Amino acid sequence: MSTLPTTSTSASPQPVAGRADLRPQNISDAVIRLAGDSQDGIQSLGGFLARLAGRSAQDVMTYMTIPSTISGGPSIFQVRIGSGEVLSAGDEADFLVAFHQHSYDNHLNSLKAGGVLLYDSDNVEPNPDDKRFVNVGIAISSLTIEALGGTAKDKGKNIFVLGLLASIFNFDADKLKALIRERFGKKDASLAETALIAFHAGYNYPVADMLATRYHFEPVTNHSGRDQVTMDGNQAIAYGLIAAYPITPWTSVMEILRTELPKYGGLFVQTEDELAAVSMAIGFSYSGNLAVTGSSGPGISLKAEAIGWASMAEIPLIIVNVQRGGPSTGLPTQVEQSDLNQSIFGGHGDSPRVVLAAASVEDCFYIMVEAARIAKKYSTPVFVLSDSALSTRIEAFDEPDLKALALDLKPDLSPRPDGYKPYPLDKITQHAPPGSPMLGGKYPVLTGLEHDEMGHPTGSAKLHVQMTEKRRQKLQKLAEELPLPEVHGDAEGDTLLVGWGSTYGPIREAVNRMRERGDKVSAIHLRHVHPLPNGLDKVFAGFKRVVVVELNDEGIYGFGQLATILRARYCEPKIRSFTKTNGMTFLVKEIIDGISK
Amino acid sequence: MSTTITPTESGTLTRAALTSDRPTWCPGCGDFSVLASFYKILEKRQLKHENIVTLAGIGCSSRFPYFVNTHGAHFIHGRAVPLATGVSLARPDLDVFVFGGDGDGFSIGGNHLEHGARKNIDLTYVIMDNSVYGMTKKQTSPTSPVGFKTKTDPLGAVDRPVNPVKKLLAAGATFIARTHASQVKHMIEMIERAMDHEGFAVVQVLSDCSNFFADAFDSANPRKGGEYKIIEEKQWDNTPEDALRHDVTDEAAAYKLADAPFPGPFGVYFQVNRPTKNALEEAAIDTIRGKLAGCSDIEILQKTLDRMK
């Protein structure tokens, strides 16, 4: 948010370096942190703001913490709305809404000096000596109860605050009201009416008495001509999958698919365990469809053996890993990118598989379509890596052109000619699913044993050498068709940052800031992590050093997981590593400080 | 499993057409007669060749798919049932057969056996039980009797063996039969009835391991001085004899039969009709798609995305 307000309660707001140089009331970027308990409905409040931004063609990104309890417990939801490109959820908040004393105590330090503290004066007593912020105390709880007739106790506070924020930020109240009706009016129109009463109470509250400044987002014109859709990373994965048209057995991706897949004639099965899930998925794929199975952390470990079979038997299969902190049960609700090695190497024997990593919520959608295409074309298991940050964060992006994306993945049951081989040494395997007549009379067996071209077991050393090569070479062939990632910034300079997965936004923003101050820094982002696209060495050649930024441990040799692989691949000593493992996404300034060392 | 018998040109599905690799089993293994019976059944029933799928996990008997010239897969240890579940649910047009042993079915795959049964997946599962781990050369299996000396129990097995029929009854299997590899006619009848059953149909075939537990089932083999006791099923003919016969739909009676001392009786212990998961899922999909009649998949997805604007 640009320089901040003058108000009656603010003693002496510190001047803040704004992200944009704008006239006082016109802003292009704001970070709003909502802090409360999970039952306060702050996720849904944040969700409304994100949807509104999406509808207004503004960029938006959110960040949330999930309490580890089932219901209740402190939680936050941070929304960053920008009239330009929003790349991270923001290091510091411009605006903090504190519902409870603990919200105030724990999150005040995330508020920028001079920022606005909006607190529920029924529950929060701010430190009177703390003059760093603009304090706005409003009796949110009692005003909500008053508005709703005293029946709603605690419920509706979020919508009251939505109204307050709408008035402070000059949000489009009509759009918000429409969103409220859509959200609450589906089952019971009276629910929507109650919510609208809470909204109006907040919207009409004389907040000007306490906060002299109102803000207004720079209007943006829709650059692409396409509407924006707003969703989180797991939704994007689920709908991306549907766009790719597979059949699926598989926490929110699974639930969406349970409801959505039958609409397309697809099938969802909840299984007894991960072993059954991956085996069933392989059964779906074997029968000529394309299946996906997904999990996080321990679940992926359980699937490992069957994925090895899919590699050996050459079965198309998509495995989604929404990474969390590990090892073992680890940090179930926090983020880490520490499953890269597992994805690439997590099987006994040489078991080639493809590993892709989604860079953003929007990319979660497209990468699923790509995974489906690669799985079919190369008849191989394909890992798609997301993480817990990406899975819960909400972004708005241009709606996809579905017609251009859909793949035809129906089983090919056409008769196979005499001489058909499931495992030809000179071609990429394309299986004949059951139901395909074999005109030569010989039917294929798919197997995890080393096999000959017909799928029959062999102990021949020569065949094992040839088949190992065949399975490896298809990945090498895939590498040839992968595009080299674009360099963000100049093609030559001092430092090239290399990222993969959800660090895309923060790395890009770090580069932008460093370039503004004159540093010769650029970045590339890898979506295809295994195989790597060819030609990265040429990109690296333009820089004095290459720093791989990733959320995992530096390991016993001092390099993170991707850094280790890149060093092994290119034998290039200038490849360095910057990692962290505190369970949170990178702050932009952490990256800037970390690589400036 | 109920089979959709699509008669092709009569006689195309011959033993010659079905023969594939030479079995790797030891001479005298009971599994040979299971394989021969399966050829006979396929020849008799003339299923559509390309629609037959034979699936297996790991073990001596699980090599079965290599010996039958049909579509098939030799999967990982213990997971043949979930693999077959995937195939069965995805492709109602296929005739899905699973073959495996007591280790695959009752130990490593024991959990999947229960869930396949409770979901009532439409498939036929033939478990060739030899009560020993033959492939690892005489280790104790989940059905090895107490006292049986093996390489893993040199003083004799101490763990109580699994009772497969009771396990399957408790899990909710809708067809449970027992037979013996030396009683070919009975075995064929049992496997055919399993094929004709709509749902999760399991046939436990006692199939001797000639090398490591050759005398395991002699007590049920008349040629070796045993008695092959067949379960007499109720005819519902109101005769006094019929009152003594077994009602295959009576679960408590099936438990009682399964409690008989080894080798116990052979035949159908239990058979009931319960909707399969295949049918239930298909009905659910039909209902949901019925509401969307006339919309293409892309239109449905577009509408969903429109709600996220």
Predicted confidence band at A27 (pLDDT cuts at 50, 70, 90)? confident
Residues of B in contact with A407 (CB under 8 A): none
How many CA atoms within 13 Å lie on the side-chain side of A579? 21
Residue A483 has which token pair? 């595009």
Chain A 309-328, residues with CB within 8 Å of chain B CB atoms: 309, 313
If asked whether residues A359 and A339 sit together in one domain, one would say: yes
Residues of B in contact with A433 (CB under 8 A): 71, 91
Point out the residue among A306, A437, A442 whose CB comes nearest to the CB of B79: A306
Tell me if chain B has a CB within 8 Å of the CB of A349: no
| Cβ neighbour number for residue B272 with a 10 Å cutoff | 17
Tell me if chain A has a CB within 8 Å of the CB of B281: yes
Does the pLDDT at position A223 exceed 70? no
Q: Cα separation of A131 and A13, whole Å?
A: 8
Residue A112 has which token pair? 């920028």
Predicted confidence band at A19 (pLDDT cuts at 50, 70, 90)? very low
Mean pLDDT of A7-35: 56
Superfamily, domain B15-274: Thiamin diphosphate (ThDP)-binding fold, Pyr/PP domains (3.40.50.970)
**Ordered per-residue pLDDT tens for chain B, 309 residues:** 554 444 444 458 999 999 999 999 999 999 999 999 999 999 999 999 999 999 999 999 999 999 999 999 999 999 999 999 999 999 999 999 999 999 999 999 999 999 999 999 999 999 999 999 999 999 999 999 999 999 999 999 999 999 999 999 999 999 999 999 999 999 999 999 999 999 999 999 999 999 999 999 999 999 999 999 999 999 999 999 999 999 999 999 999 999 999 999 999 999 999 999 999 999 998 898 889 888 888 888 999 999 898
Matching residue, tokens 């703390």: A130
How is chain B split into domains, by residue range?
Answer: 15-274
Chain A residue nearest residue B80, CA to CA: A279
| Cβ neighbour number for residue A459 with a 10 Å cutoff | 8
- DSSP-assigned letter for residue A77: E
If asked whether residues A79 and A34 sit together in one domain, one would say: yes
Point out the residue among B76, B84, B87 whose CB comes nearest to the CB of A309: B76
Residues of A in contact with B66 (CB under 8 A): 445, 447, 456-457
* 3-state SS class at A425: coil
Mean pLDDT of A446-458: 96
Tell me if chain A has a CB within 8 Å of the CB of B107: no
E strands, A99-174, in order: 111-120, 134-138
Quick one: which H or E segment has residue A278? helix A274-286
Tell me if chain A has a CB within 8 Å of the CB of B168: no
Does the pLDDT at position A524 exceed 70? yes
Give the CATH number, domain containing residue A219.
3.40.920.10
Per cent of chain A over pLDDT 70 is: 92
Give whole-number Cα distances, A18 to A132, A346, A357, in Å: 16, 46, 33
Q: Cα separation of A65 and A584, whole Å?
A: 9
Long-range contacts of A88-91 (CB under 8 A, 24+ apart): A88/A61, A88/A505, A88/A506, A88/A509, A88/A585, A88/A586, A88/A587, A88/A588, A89/A31, A89/A61, A89/A62, A89/A63, A89/A393, A89/A585, A90/A31, A90/A63, A91/A587, A91/A588, A91/A589
Q: Cα separation of A441 and A416, whole Å?
A: 10
Q: Cα separation of A19 and A59, whole Å?
A: 15
If asked whether residues A335 and A465 sit together in one domain, one would say: no
Predicted confidence band at A59 (pLDDT cuts at 50, 70, 90)? confident
Mean pLDDT of A188-204: 91
* 3-state SS class at B19: strand
More confident residue, A463 or A236: A463
Tell me if chain A has a CB within 8 Å of the CB of B118: no
Task: Count residue pairs from A and B with Cβ separation < 8 A.
Answer: 180
Point out the residue among A228, A267, A283 whose CB comes nearest to the CB of B83: A283
Give the CATH number, domain containing residue A542.
3.40.50.920
End-to-end Cα spacing for chain B = 47
Residues of A in contact with B81 (CB under 8 A): 276
Mean pLDDT of A373-394: 94
Chain A 521-550, residues with CB within 8 Å of chain B CB atoms: none
* 3-state SS class at A128: coil
pTM score of the predicted model: 0.91
Q: Cα separation of A211 and A134, whole Å?
A: 8
If asked whether residues A394 and A351 sit together in one domain, one would say: yes
Long-range contacts of A399-404 (CB under 8 A, 24+ apart): A399/A226, A399/A227, A399/A228, A399/A229, A399/B305, A399/B309, A400/A229, A400/A243, A400/A365, A400/A366, A400/B305, A401/A226, A402/A243, A402/B298, A402/B301, A402/B302, A402/B305, A403/B298
What's the pLDDT tens digit per position in A273-327? 999 999 999 999 999 998 999 888 889 999 999 999 999 999 999 999 999 999 9
Gap from A567 CA to chain B (nearest CA, Å): 35
Predicted confidence band at A151 (pLDDT cuts at 50, 70, 90)? low
If asked whether residues A199 and A86 sit together in one domain, one would say: yes
If asked whether residues A105 and A132 sit together in one domain, one would say: yes
Matching residue, tokens 């149909």: B201
Residues of B in contact with A286 (CB under 8 A): 73, 83, 86-87
If asked whether residues A475 and A461 sit together in one domain, one would say: yes
More confident residue, A257 or B109: B109
ipTM above 0.90, yes or no: yes
Residue A558 has which token pair? 């001092």
If asked whether residues A207 and A82 sit together in one domain, one would say: yes
Pick from B152, B108, B158, B116: nearest CA to B132: B152
Q: Cα separation of B70 and B54, whole Å?
A: 7
Q: Which residues contact A121 (CB under 8 A, 6 or more apart)?
A: A137, A138, A139, A140
Pick from B43, B4, B41, B21: nearest CA to B205: B41
At which of A405, A436, A451 does a domain end? A405
pLDDT at A14: 36
Q: Cα separation of A86 and A60, whole Å?
A: 6
Could you tell me the residue range of the domain that residue A141 belongs to? 26-223
For residue A259, the one-letter residue type is: T
Q: How many domains does chain A have?
A: 4
DSSP β-ladder status, A29-37 and A74-82: antiparallel
Does the pLDDT at position A64 exceed 90? no
Chain B residue nearest residue A444, CA to CA: B71
Does the pLDDT at position A244 exceed 80? no
Burial class of residue B300 in the structure, from the number of CB atoms within 10 Å of its CB (0-12 exposed, 13-18 middle, 19+ buried): middle
Pick from A532, A495, A493, A488: nearest CA to A509: A488
Give whole-number Cα distances, B49 to A325, B12, B41, B100, in Å: 50, 9, 13, 21
| Cβ neighbour number for residue B21 with a 10 Å cutoff | 15
Q: Cα separation of B116 and A369, whole Å?
A: 31
Does the pLDDT at position A444 exceed 50? yes
Are the Cβ atoms of A263 and B300 closer than 8 angstroms?
yes
Are the Cβ atoms of B86 and A249 closer than 8 angstroms?
yes
What's the pLDDT tens digit per position in A157-176? 999 999 999 999 999 999 99
If phi > 0 it is left, if psi is from -120 to 50 it is alpha, else beta; for residue A435 that is left
Helix axes A140-148, A189-203, angle to 10 degrees: 130
- DSSP-assigned letter for residue A485: P
Q: Give Rg (Cα) of chain B.
A: 21
If asked whether residues A284 and A311 sit together in one domain, one would say: yes
* Spatial contact of A441 and B17, defined as CB atoms under 8 Å apart: yes
Q: Cα separation of B84 and B65, whole Å?
A: 13
If phi > 0 it is left, if psi is from -120 to 50 it is alpha, else beta; for residue A275 that is alpha
How many CA atoms within 13 Å lie on the side-chain side of A155? 10
Chain A residue nearest residue B85, CA to CA: A280
Matching residue, tokens 């000593």: A573
Residue A421 has which token pair? 């081989």
Q: Phi/psi of residue A365, each to 5°?
A: -65, -55
* Spatial contact of B288 and A262, defined as CB atoms under 8 Å apart: yes
Q: Phi/psi of residue A320, each to 5°?
A: -95, 125
If asked whether residues A331 and A376 sit together in one domain, one would say: yes
**A246-250, A259-263, B12-16, B73-77: least confidently modelled range:** A246-250
Per cent of chain A over pLDDT 90 is: 69
Give rounded-to-5 percent helix, strand, coil for chain B. Answer: 40, 15, 45
If asked whether residues A40 and A109 sit together in one domain, one would say: yes
* Spatial contact of A2 and A20, defined as CB atoms under 8 Å apart: yes
Q: Give Rg (Cα) of chain A.
A: 26
Q: Cα separation of A42 and A48, whole Å?
A: 10
- Spatial strand order in the sheet of A111-120: A134-138, A111-120, A93-98, A29-37, A74-82, A59-64, A394-398, A228-232
Q: Which residues contact A302 (CB under 8 A, 6 or more apart)?
A: A273, A274, A275, A278, A295
For residue B25, the one-letter residue type is: W
Residue A524 belongs to a domain: yes
pLDDT at A597: 77
Does the pLDDT at position A339 exceed 50? yes
At which of A405, A423, A449 does a domain end? A405
Are the Cβ atoms of A276 and B85 closer than 8 angstroms?
yes
Tell me if chain A has a CB within 8 Å of the CB of B87: yes
pLDDT at B10: 47
Over chain A, what is the mean pLDDT? 89
Residues of B in contact with A397 (CB under 8 A): none
What's the pLDDT tens digit per position in A405-440? 888 788 999 999 999 999 999 999 999 999 999 999
How many CA atoms within 13 Å lie on the side-chain side of A75? 25
- Prior bond of A5 cis (ω within 30°): no
Residues of B in contact with A264 (CB under 8 A): 297, 300-301
Are the Cβ atoms of A435 and B50 closer than 8 angstroms?
yes
If asked whether residues A521 and A420 sit together in one domain, one would say: no
How many CA atoms within 13 Å lie on the side-chain side of A61? 20
At which of A206, A223, A240 does a domain end? A223
Give whole-number Cα distances, A431 to A152, A293, A423, B199, in Å: 60, 20, 8, 28
